[in-house]
Structure 1
Amino acid sequence: MQRGIEKEGLRMQPDGYSAKTFHPAKLGSKLTHPYITTDYSENLLELITKPMPSIKQALDMLRDLHVLVHRSLENDELIWPLSMPCMTSDTDSDIPLADYGSSNIGKLKTLYRSGLGVRYGRKMQTIAGLHYNLSIGDDLFGAWQHAEGAKDLTAFKNDKYLALIRNFKRLTPLVLYLLGASPAVCGTFVSGRQHNLIPLGTTCSYHQPNGTSLRMGKLGYTNSVQEDLDIRYNHLDEYIKGLRAAIGTPYADFEAIGVDDAHGVPIQINNHILQIENEYYSPIRPKQTATASETPTQALQARGIAYVEFRAIDLDPYSDIGITSVTACFLEILALYCLFTDSPYLMSEEEKRLNQNIDIIVNHGRQAGIAIDTDFGKENLHDWIIHHLTQMQTIADAFDAHHGSNQYRTALTMMQGKAINPDFTLSAQIIADSHRVGGTWALGKLLAQKHQTELLSHALSRVDEAEFDELARTSLIEQAQLEATDTIGFDDYLKAYR
């Protein structure tokens, strides 16, 4: 089993507003660096680990990347530790799009982000999260394939990974309850927007008192445009077809915006439901490593599913790297539980029910007596979670037997404690601590300062120092080469792409 982590984090000024400075030059090129880049905006860092054979190695590399970033920060900047952003401007133009240079591919990446901004607003794009990528070994799949008498390993893996994905979607409420860490937002985030949040005491923050993960709700990544898409996870061809249909279908509201502004400057790649495949938001994705010339679905079609990307994970603000080993262990237990549990095809009616469940948990997940809609009718959320966690025990035992450890059983026990007592959840801790210190902004800044102090005391090995210095240097060379070798202008490049 291999795992990798992608972790986003917003650079912030000492006054609590998001930073307006450029990506630190000493980190290298955000276009070509394999591990340190930006997500939507110039100030939204994205740190990416290699696929690693152990959780410890993945977390160690993620910590090293954080150390490099904190060393590079100037003007007393910090990394905001929460998923929902720190204070942001009411003016979209004050949220700078990530700039990837003058190459055609770099300009296209920036244009895609411009399109997200004109479609959904730039504030929404400053939300940060964590993706946990997991690849299950061919030794397991090979033995399983042989036992079932399946002929083609790639097709067998595709079917099993899709079964895992369907079950993860069914269990997303469990993930949001146990790991959700965005029950509150700074007032600037909801300024001028309709919402049903209430003030958090006398602070400038707003919250859902029993909320879990506003990031995963209507104030976050969820949007009405994509809710109506019919993208299925029953067969890989079906998934690819649905995603490509969304990319090829114009959408009236986006047509009204126009692909260019009044001066003929491009503001979105196209006026379709999705500009590119990555615009589709789902709590989990099937993935295959794509070459430079491939789209994600072309890679999937050519070589099948290589790993799954868990995307419904909020940043843990109490961790200096946004995730703990407990969370990582639990996600791996959950992954195998989803893989080995019976997974019927997921049809549109069930999808609607699952989305309604997510909305309930996002806003009211810690409320006493809350129920969700399952195949067996209405079930008490806490009873439902405890049932599934109990069923995961044999998987935790097997992991620990394999690794000669107790870390997976410990992780599961901690999750069971959260299921029994909502006050132990991250979302409850954040609400309590925000009340105590004067709001989410005050809490976020305290934690950001604490994390920076801890990370700057962390030493890298000479080998790692040299490797990261070389990566920064070569990434700048690679970007310059891309910019020097373009043979057509961006207008022609975009015309061909559209």
Structure 2
Amino acid sequence: MKSFNEVVRELSDPTSRQALKAMRRGIEREALRIEKTGHLAMDSHPKALGSALMHSRITTDYSESLLEFITPVFENIDELVEDLTCTHAYSVRNLNGQRLWPVSMPCYVGDVADIPIAEYGSSNNGKMKRLYRKGLTYRYGAQMQIISGVHFNFSVSDALWSRLYALSDTKMSKAEFISESYFGLIRNYRRLVWVLPYLFGASPALCGSFIKDQPTDLPFEKVGKGTLYLPYATSLRMSDLGYTNHEQNSLSISYNNLSDYLDGMNSAISMSSENFAKIGVKVDGEYRQLNANVLQIENEFYSPIRAKRVAQGNEKPSESLARAGVEYIEVRALDVNPYSAVGIEKSQIRFLDLFLLNCLLQPSLASSEAEEAEIAANLEAVVLEGRKPGLQLTQNGIAIGLSDWLTSLFDNLGEIAKLLDNDADSEYQQALAHWHKAVVNPDETLSGRIIKMLKHEQIDHNQWVMQLAQDYYQQLNDYSISDSVLARYQQDAQQSLDKQAASESLGDVSFDQFLADYFGQKS
């Protein structure tokens, strides 16, 4: 196995550098619709945005109120952010004065029983999507499901894979090598995942109403009238208060290779849960959940990163991977960035490029149970007290200062940045320098900036967020969209509605039979 420095040297020629630069990225950003008062929108998904079931760019997640904006895949970062911004701007123009909640943690929810579960129409596919979300409600409660995040989809170029394959001494086929390498990336990402909440975690504080019914022993402090915060927290979204599932602690999904991962996932989706069985699956003729397993479907597996492949037809995610291997990875550890109208900044995207390339190019040994425990402990420490002076983490069983580990990491990222930049363009090195300020001074992290502002201004978190929502509402309303782009969005919306209507007009089998067929397929 070659060292990182050896691989970097072998990729320093012009052809290899060009292959490195040709990364492909997509973004999925979640955002709650809110009324001018700040309260959660309770109305249906706006018709002007099209069909949430069929639209490729604008859909919903758990709730009718939880929008999800999806970009196509881009190589160019400026084009990626432009596309995401246009989708936001078109949507805001069609929300009848509603705003987008610009942070991860919700507020002003009222009675959680009133949170509207997303509707997808009368087709069996639509019914299944809604029932899955209904099951999530019974299992974890609605409030956890309306926490928002940003997902970053990433792959490297075919040219880079050809170069890396040629440099390797593997006996595997190229397709096997690609999947194996992506799993190496995933293992290294998991070892370093704490870096993302440290730098980009943006939920160190929340509205007190969010935990009104949840017991917690976290030592919260208070600012303003009702804002709760932890002095050194980075991402409460990723804590036990956020998007977690303790039932999944019984699962042991291996990331050591594709075969082991698929075996673990197939076992997980057929593993029964005593707790979820108590809910019932079909009670008095009405479904409450898809099944009583630990996972209803694979999407319920909460992981900060996923191996992905674009599905064909009605393939399950694991079936797509089994058919042709890993095509890209999905980063799921990102809070919504409140300092951006679209939830993420270009400097973050460039950092993620460097971070993920580092995870790919570094040696990646198989992980053990002991290392998995270490990974979980490091992540929890950073989520709850990542900005604490002198914080110690554990690396290969040895204590290491968070700042020392970050300094070493940034040195490696700097080597990759030099390969990606050229004489006329130093955007990667500039992005790295920007986020290096947060290594030197934790107040420069997103969470540090938020806590510093809240304490200095002595204002409530929700008051600050409402002002941001108003500012971004105006900014996105004023954003220039050409007539041709506007017409495309209108056409996409109508075509998605027509596509849903056409699917609902077909003679479907009964829903019971549909579910039996779906879960009867071999994975």
- The separation in 1 between residues aligned to 2:126 and 2:119, in whole angstroms, is 7
Q: 1:111 aligns with which of 100, 122, 131?
A: 131
- 1:24 — aligned with what? 46
- The separation in 1 between residues aligned to 2:58 and 2:486, in whole angstroms, is 14
CA contact (8 A) 2:25 2:153 kept: yes
Q: 1:231 aligns with which of 227, 236, 253?
A: 253
- The separation in 2 between residues aligned to 1:64 and 1:197, in whole angstroms, is 41
- The separation in 2 between residues aligned to 1:425 and 1:409, in whole angstroms, is 18
- The separation in 2 between residues aligned to 1:416 and 1:459, in whole angstroms, is 33
1:194-237, CA deviations, whole angstroms, 9 ceiling, x for partnerless residues?
A: 12152422321211111001111111112221123100111101
- 2:243 — aligned with what? 221
**Counterpart of 1:56 in structure 2: which amino acid?**
D
For the residue of structure 2 that corresponds to 1:379, the secondary structure is strand
CA contact (8 A) 1:178 1:426 kept: yes
Compute the RMSD of aligned alpha carbons.
1.3
For the residue of structure 1 that corresponds to 2:422, the secondary structure is helix
Q: 1:390 aligns with which of 411, 415, 423?
A: 411
For the residue of structure 1 that corresponds to 2:148, the secondary structure is coil
Report how far residue 154 of structure 1 moved: 0.9
CA contact (8 A) 2:86 2:481 kept: yes
- 1:480 — aligned with what? 501
- The separation in 2 between residues aligned to 1:221 and 1:83, in whole angstroms, is 11
Length-normalised TM-score, structure 2: 0.92
* Structure 1 unaligned regions, length at least 5: none
- 2:475 — aligned with what? 454
Report how far residue 497 of structure 1 moved: 3.4
Q: 1:66 aligns with which of 66, 73, 88?
A: 88
**Counterpart of 1:119 in structure 2: which amino acid?**
R
CA contact (8 A) 1:433 1:443 kept: no
Report how far residue 420 of structure 1 moved: 0.8
Report how far residue 389 of structure 1 moved: 0.9
- The separation in 1 between residues aligned to 2:180 and 2:83, in whole angstroms, is 32
- Percent identity among equivalent residues? 38
Q: 1:347 aligns with which of 349, 364, 368?
A: 368
- 2:359 — aligned with what? 338
TM alignment of 1:403-442, pairs within 5 A: 404-435=424-455, 436=457, 438-442=459-463
**Counterpart of 2:343 in structure 1: which amino acid?**
G
Report how far residue 383 of structure 1 moved: 1.3
- 1:2 — aligned with what? 24
- The separation in 2 between residues aligned to 1:99 and 1:481, in whole angstroms, is 17
**Counterpart of 2:163 in structure 1: which amino acid?**
A
Q: 2:158 aligns with which of 130, 138, 142?
A: 138
Moved >6 Å (runs of 4+): none
Matched, 1:325 2:346: yes
CA contact (8 A) 2:186 2:305 kept: yes
- The separation in 1 between residues aligned to 2:327 and 2:516, in whole angstroms, is 32
CA contact (8 A) 1:229 1:246 kept: yes
- The separation in 2 between residues aligned to 1:210 and 1:179, in whole angstroms, is 14
1:69-115, CA deviations, whole angstroms, 9 ceiling, x for partnerless residues?
A: 100111x31100001112212x3321110000111100100000011
- The separation in 2 between residues aligned to 1:465 and 1:149, in whole angstroms, is 51
Matched, 1:283 2:316: no
- The separation in 1 between residues aligned to 2:512 and 2:168, in whole angstroms, is 53
Count residues with an aligned counterpart. Answer: 494
CA contact (8 A) 2:221 2:231 kept: no
TM alignment of 1:145-294, pairs within 5 A: 145-150=165-170, 151-195=172-216, 196-261=218-283, 263-294=284-315
For the residue of structure 2 that corresponds to 1:378, the secondary structure is strand
- The separation in 1 between residues aligned to 2:76 and 2:458, in whole angstroms, is 37
CA contact (8 A) 1:329 1:408 kept: yes
1:156-184, CA deviations, whole angstroms, 9 ceiling, x for partnerless residues?
A: 10011111110010001111101111111
Report how far residue 462 of structure 1 moved: 2.2
* Structure 2 unaligned regions, length at least 5: 1-22
- 2:99 — aligned with what? 78
- The separation in 2 between residues aligned to 1:260 and 1:439, in whole angstroms, is 43
- The separation in 2 between residues aligned to 1:269 and 1:376, in whole angstroms, is 41
- 2:36 — aligned with what? 14
For the residue of structure 2 that corresponds to 1:401, the secondary structure is coil
- The separation in 1 between residues aligned to 2:114 and 2:342, in whole angstroms, is 27
**Counterpart of 1:132 in structure 2: which amino acid?**
F
Length-normalised TM-score, structure 1: 0.97
Report how far residue 31 of structure 1 moved: 0.2
Mean CA deviation greater in 487-496 or 43-52: 487-496
Mean CA deviation greater in 340-349 or 64-73: 340-349
- The separation in 2 between residues aligned to 1:260 and 1:18, in whole angstroms, is 30
CA contact (8 A) 2:124 2:508 kept: no
- The separation in 1 between residues aligned to 2:166 and 2:507, in whole angstroms, is 49
Report how far residue 464 of structure 1 moved: 1.1
